[in-house]
Structures are given as C-alpha cells and as structure tokens.
C-alpha cells in the first residue's frame, strides 16, 4: 500500500508541477480551499473572488465526497503540500533527523490552531472578496511561480514547514491547514474506517507508531479520529494483519487485499467527477446585471482578451454601462469566465434598444474617465472583431 500511496502522491504532485510550470496554468483554480474562500462572494454577489473559478467548487465537492467516503484521503494521497511534507519526513529519518514526538496534549492544542486560522482567513477573504492573505500562504508560494503579490514571509512560512517536516511528521497538515479544519468534521462521519480486532491483536503498538497523524490506533477498536488519512500505514505495520488484527473497511467482506484497490478507485472516481463537472457545467465565475430583464433579449458570446480576473470583469461591465456615445440603453447582463488569454464572455441585452455591433463598440472604444479626467483606451480586444473597421467604413468627416 505504501507504494500505491507514494505513486499517487507523486502522480498528483507531478501533475500540479507540470500544470503550474510547464502548462503555466492558474493552479489556484484547482485548489479545494479556493472553493471555500470563494463561496460567500459567489452566493451573495454571483461573482467569484479574483483568480478563482467555478472549478474550485467542483473540486471542493469532489474532496468533500472523498472525505465522506475515505476520511482525509485527499490529504494523504493527493495534496502536494502533504506529499512534500511526508516525503521530507522520510528523508529526515533516513538522515537521522528526528523523529520528534510531540506530547499528546501539546499535539492536541497545536491541532486546534487551524480553526482560528480558518476563521481569520475566511473573515478577511469574505469581507474583501479578495485572497488578501495569500501573500503569506505557503501553498501560494509553491504554485504561483513567484506571484506578483507574494511576500518574503510566504517563503519563511514555507521554509519553516519544510524544515519542520524533516523532524516532525506533516506539521502543517496536522496543525495549521485551514482545509483540514473544514474536512475534519466531515471526516468524522467518514464511511471507511480502520478497525482493530482485540482477539487477534498482539498489542505490539506498531500501528500507533506508524501513524503519521499520531493516532493511538493500538488503544482503540475503531479509528474515529477525524485526522485519519486512510493511508493504511497502520495496516502495513501490523504483524498480524493477515490474521485480521487490523482491517480497513467497510464493507467488512472486502478484506485487506481489496482495500487499496477500492481506495484508489474511489479517489480517482471523486477526482474525475470533479474535473468532468468543471467541463460539463461551466458556470460563469462573474455575473453582473443592470436593469430589469425584458421579455425579448439578445445574447452575444465572444472571446475577450484582457478579461483576466474579477477586477477586469468589473471593468468590462463598466464599459457596457458607459454613458457616452456608445451607451447601451436598457437591460444588460454580463456573464464572464475570466482567465489569461482569450476569456469567454456572454452579454445579454435588450435587442430592441441595442445591437450586437453596439455591444462590441461599447467594449472596445476608448472612453473618457470623468473621475480622473483622462482619456483611456479600452484594455479589451474581441476575437474576430476589428474595432478600427479599417476595411469598410470611412472615417467620420465633420460637415
């Protein structure tokens, strides 16, 4: 099982690194915690926090489903931070560093830190609709390719976690991870559990020693601790596991031999479902409306460059609401899927009051910013639309 787990950890870590550094994708959109951070703004405003997408919700859904089935298997098999931390601990052991065993009471106190941390993160993110604390986020340090708002402190925190992982097993995952704070209550309800049979147990305590989350497996008949990663190290470590001293289930009829297969199948099922949902139900991550909806509306879909984030989507709406020569009267609804490159946008408007050409002009024509009293060029370009219209129309001539 250790090999299966390492293979999955490695696979997901490689996928993440390729996605970030080779494909140069926005990995924040794959983060399940992003779904938690974006939820409030999406529910109250219909728009997502900047740099996040609807995919965050699907992935969060997949992880929640996974947790309800397999406890915190996401942390043990898929999370890149968990993988790096876990491997570093193995490396530390090989070089004779640690392991440092944290007293149980201290461990319990430290593991409570993630809850106030979650409250702080959500308070600031939900009230500002921005990922204001990511500048200090060790995960952001890993996936942002040295993002423009990253601070020195993000690397200090990352360094401390990596250094600490050499001696203490998965310190961030156990004590500080805000996603773990969300998953723990769900994990407690998790279907799959480690069960220990007193009749066959020889009481060696190897299962407890092997547990990366310091769960005293040898002292319980059933592991209910929310922090269980379903890593099955305890099962691997048990000298009498074949006799049924320790099993992973349910269902009971699936013995130890089946456990890894079922676990991997469920992991992949949840992941595939989440990814497929992102493509099958690509809801807009930015929605803004002006005016009351009319009976007959016209919708135009376009790919817009310059529509990279929530801020630029707000600016696009500002262009659609302009009140100069290119004013669009009546109802307007903008649905946008901001991303780097050409992003999808859908504009629904009152077809009797405005035209498709008018929408295109409103988006691309320069405008006078009456607040700063400065003329500005539109930062947007629409694929397949020439705003200069150099081929057809003549330049306007004053009488």
Q: Does 48 bind another protein (CB under 8 A)?
A: no
The CA-based angle 118-120-122, given to 5 degrees, is: 65
CB 76 within 8 A of CB 266: no
Nearer to another protein, 296 or 372 (CB): 372
The residue whose two tokens read 């952001």 is 140
Rounded distance between C-alpha atoms, residue 30 and residue 56, angstroms = 6
CB of 183 to another protein, least distance (A): 26
Nearer to another protein, 200 or 314 (CB): 314
2-31 residues in contact with another protein (CB under 8 A) are: 26
Nearer to another protein, 1 or 353 (CB): 353
- Give the CA count within 13 Å in the CB-facing half-sphere of 118: 18
CB of 326 to another protein, least distance (A): 8
Rounded distance between C-alpha atoms, residue 321 and residue 197, angstroms = 69
**Which residues sit opposite 335 in a β-bridge?**
287, 346
Nearer to another protein, 3 or 395 (CB): 395
CB 227 within 8 A of CB 205: no
Q: Does 358 bind another protein (CB under 8 A)?
A: no
| Site map 116..145 versus another protein, x via CB under 8 A | ------------xxxxx-xx----------
CB 377 within 8 A of CB 366: yes
Query: What would the two tokens of residue 220 be?
Result: 């319980």
Nearer to another protein, 34 or 76 (CB): 34
140-159 residues in contact with another protein (CB under 8 A) are: 147-149
Binding residue for another protein (CB under 8 A) from 295, 373, 383, 392? 373
Nearer to another protein, 95 or 377 (CB): 377
Query: What would the two tokens of residue 91 be?
Result: 């490396």
Q: Does 335 bind another protein (CB under 8 A)?
A: no
* Residues near 111 by beta carbon (within 8 Å), at least 6 away in sequence: 174, 175, 227
Query: What would the two tokens of residue 89 be?
Result: 């601990």
Binding residue for another protein (CB under 8 A) from 89, 308, 316, 343? 308
3-state SS, residue 36:
helix
Which letter, b or e, does each residue of 187-224 get, where b requires 16 or more Cβ atoms within 10 Å of its Cβ?
A: beebebebbbeeeebeeeebbbebbbbbbebbeeeebe
Q: Does 375 bind another protein (CB under 8 A)?
A: yes
Rounded distance between C-alpha atoms, residue 113 and residue 107, angstroms = 10
Binding residue for another protein (CB under 8 A) from 309, 316, 336, 343? 309
Nearer to another protein, 208 or 314 (CB): 314
3-state SS, residue 205:
coil
Piece in contact with another protein (CB under 8 A), picked from 153-161, 211-219, 274-282, 310-318: 310-318
CB of 58 to another protein, least distance (A): 20
CB 203 within 8 A of CB 220: no
CB 310 within 8 A of CB 129: yes
* # residues near another protein by CB under 8 A: 48
238-277 residues in contact with another protein (CB under 8 A) are: none
Binding residue for another protein (CB under 8 A) from 32, 36, 39, 51? 51
Which letter, b or e, does each residue of 254-279 get, where b requires 16 or more Cβ atoms within 10 Å of its Cβ?
A: eebeebbebbbebbeebbebbeebbe
Nearer to another protein, 116 or 311 (CB): 311
For 71, 177, 247, 377, the CA distances from 76, given in Å and listed in that order, are: 10, 13, 18, 50
Nearer to another protein, 280 or 388 (CB): 388
55-114 residues in contact with another protein (CB under 8 A) are: none
CB of 339 to another protein, least distance (A): 9
Nearer to another protein, 186 or 353 (CB): 353
Nearer to another protein, 251 or 396 (CB): 396
CB of 89 to another protein, least distance (A): 32
Rounded distance between C-alpha atoms, residue 124 and residue 293, angstroms = 33
Residues binding another protein (CB under 8 A): 26, 45, 47, 50-51, 128-132, 134-135, 147-149, 306, 308-312, 314-315, 318, 321, 323-325, 340, 364-366, 368, 370, 372-375, 377, 379, 387-388, 390, 395-399
């Amino acid at each position: 099982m250790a090999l299966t787990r390492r293979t999955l950890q490695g696979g997901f870590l490689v996928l993440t690194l390729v996605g970030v550094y080779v494909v140069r994708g926005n990995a924040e959109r794959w983060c399940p915690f992003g779904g938690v951070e974006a939820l409030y703004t999406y529910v109250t405003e219909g728009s997502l926090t900047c740099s996040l997408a609807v995919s965050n919700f699907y992935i969060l859904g997949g992880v929640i489903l996974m947790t309800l089935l397999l406890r915190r298997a996401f942390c043990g098999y898929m999370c890149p931070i968990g993988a790096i931390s876990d491997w570093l601990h193995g490396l530390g052991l090989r070089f004779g560093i640690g392991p440092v065993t944290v007293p149980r009471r201290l461990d319990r106190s430290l593991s409570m830190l993630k809850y106030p941390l979650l409250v702080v993160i959500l308070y600031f993110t939900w009230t500002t609709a921005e990922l204001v604390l990511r500048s200090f986020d060790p995960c952001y340090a890993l996936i942002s390719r040295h993002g423009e708002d990253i601070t020195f402190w993000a690397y200090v925190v990352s360094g401390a976690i990596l250094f600490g992982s050499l001696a203490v097993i998965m310190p961030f995952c156990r004590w500080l991870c805000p996603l773990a704070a969300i998953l723990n209550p769900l994990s407690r309800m998790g279907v799959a559990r480690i069960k220990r049979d007193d009749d066959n147990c020889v009481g060696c305590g190897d299962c407890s020693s092997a547990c990366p989350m310091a769960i005293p497996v040898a002292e319980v008949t059933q592991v209910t601790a929310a922090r269980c990663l379903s890593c099955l190290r305890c099962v691997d470590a048990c000298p009498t596991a074949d006799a049924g001293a320790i099993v992973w289930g349910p269902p009971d009829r699936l013995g130890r031999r089946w456990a890894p297969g079922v676990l991997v199948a469920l992991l992949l099922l949840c992941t595939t479902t989440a990814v497929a949902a992102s493509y099958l139900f690509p809801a807009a991550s930015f929605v803004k409306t002006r005016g009351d909806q009319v009976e007959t509306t016209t919708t135009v879909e376009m790919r817009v460059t310059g529509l990279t984030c929530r801020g630029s989507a707000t600016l696009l709406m500002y262009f659609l609401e302009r009140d100069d020569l290119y004013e669009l009267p009546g109802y307007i609804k903008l649905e946008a899927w901001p991303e780097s490159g050409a992003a999808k946008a859908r504009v629904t408007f009152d077809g009797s009051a405005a035209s498709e050409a008018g929408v295109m002009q409103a988006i691309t024509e320069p405008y006078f910013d009456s607040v700063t009293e400065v003329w500005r060029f539109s930062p947007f370009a629409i694929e397949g639309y020439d705003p200069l219209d150099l081929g057809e129309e003549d330049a306007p001539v004053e009488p």
